[in-house]
Amino acid sequence: MKEYTLKHPIEIKNGEGQVLERIEKITLARLRGEHARKITADKPFPLMVQMIGCSANLPPSTMDKMDMDDIIGAAEVAGDFFTVPGFKAPST
């Protein structure tokens, strides 16, 4: 497992706008067969987003709130765990 600190924390809010949870770090784990069954994207970037969500055990609604900087950063951290055909993260 690897931990990634979000540059742009995610706030989960209720219907009244109150913050219920603030996600500042995610833990990325190796993917297993159970994850492969959940991944349905067929284009490189959406595939990477789904793989990160499965790896960090985050629901799609939370992944939808994740900043693009953090999606790419998490993919770089998890690079040892998985690769996405056709996607190359920008070099830093």
Residue 91, domain member (yes or no): no
Residue 92, domain member (yes or no): no
Residue 13, domain member (yes or no): yes
pLDDT single digits (tens) 36-53: 788 888 887 788 888 899
Q: Distance between alpha carbon 37 and the CA centroid of its chain, in Å?
A: 17
Into how many domains does the chain fold? 1
Alpha helices (H) along the chain: 33-38, 44-55, 60-63, 68-77
Quote the pTM value.
0.79
Residue 86, domain member (yes or no): no
Mean per-residue pLDDT of the chain: 86
Domain with 33, as residue range(s), is: 2-80
